[in-house]
Amino acid sequence: TGLVQIEAGGFSFRARVAGLDGEGPGLILLHGFPESSIMWTPLLERAAEAGFRVVAFDQRGYSPGARPAGADQYALDLLVDDVFAVADAVGFDGFHLIGHDWGSIVGWAATSRDTTRVLSWASLSIPHPGAIPEPDAPRSTPTYVKVFRRPGVAEALLGAGGRWFMKTFMYSTMPAGHIAEYDALYAEPGALTATLNWYRALDPSSGAPGNVGPVEQPVLYVYGRNDIEAFVNEDVQSRMPAFVEGPFETVGLDAGHWLIQDEEVIVLDYVMKHLERNR
């Protein structure tokens, strides 16, 4: 694997790539908050060994060369545009897609948008956005999302003076090398605000990222039963099939939100079986 810059859509994205000199299927990996492409290192290596051409890029706001000002620059449609721009830049016509956390929300939308180019989709932790109840429903918008949407407040909580919050609630199970990269990332000018803009671009009335249609490609959905209840409660699980029209595998694990850190071998086994089944 190597760290490269990918010029796409008028931006320069920092990315980790593996197996690009091969001829196998394309695979794009989408990280979430507060991580970067380094979270995908175990899967990058394993998928490349299986013959996939793999790209994990630091998404908009996380790459210094892709950090526009203003929350409106982080709307879901624009984040999806980035996925296809990166695919174009590396020569992927059709490709498989995997995401975690916010990367899952982008992935659901990308998979719904283009049923030809996205060959299969695997979501870690996050259900289809349409299956998540509206904010006035019970067990809806998590408190942390409301906090992250407040300019200044979230920066104080997560910034240099509040690094304890990240280390206590987000970094506790992550490898030291990954934490070092995240600390360096959030020390970059404007990085924290840019990544929080993903939350601030949510619809102010509904708290939703945007309308995401159903998907018809093969889907793998892996979630942790100990994740935030708003994402894994029975109501959400029962609504999922309405948004997945093709082959659909759901896997619930005794894990939290950070699935790869909690259950790396099990999660990667499911992901690789899904990729091989649909390659």
Q: Which residue has the tokens 């060994």?
A: 49
User: DSSP per residue over 156-178, as a string?
Assistant: HHHSGGGHHHHHHHTSTTS-HHH
Long-range contacts formed by 137-146: CB under 8 A, 24+ apart: 139/229, 139/230, 139/233, 139/235, 140/207, 140/230, 141/207, 141/230, 142/228, 142/230, 145/199, 145/202, 145/207
What confidence tier does 48 reach under pLDDT thresholds 50, 70, 90?
very high
pTM reported for the whole predicted model: 0.94
Helices (H), the chain: 41-49, 76-90, 102-113, 143-148, 153-158, 163-169, 176-187, 191-200, 229-232, 234-239, 259-262, 264-278
Per-residue pLDDT tens over the stretch 137-185: 544 567 777 778 877 777 877 776 556 667 777 777 889 899 899 989 9
pLDDT, tens only, 66-78? 999 999 999 999 9
pLDDT of residue 140: 54
H/E run at residue 190: none
What pLDDT does 173 receive?
82
The domains located in the chain, with CATH, are 2-278 (3.40.50.1820)
**Which of 60-64, 129-133, 201-205, 262-266 bottoms out in mean pLDDT, i.e. has the lowest?**
201-205
Q: Is the pLDDT of residue 85 over 90?
A: yes
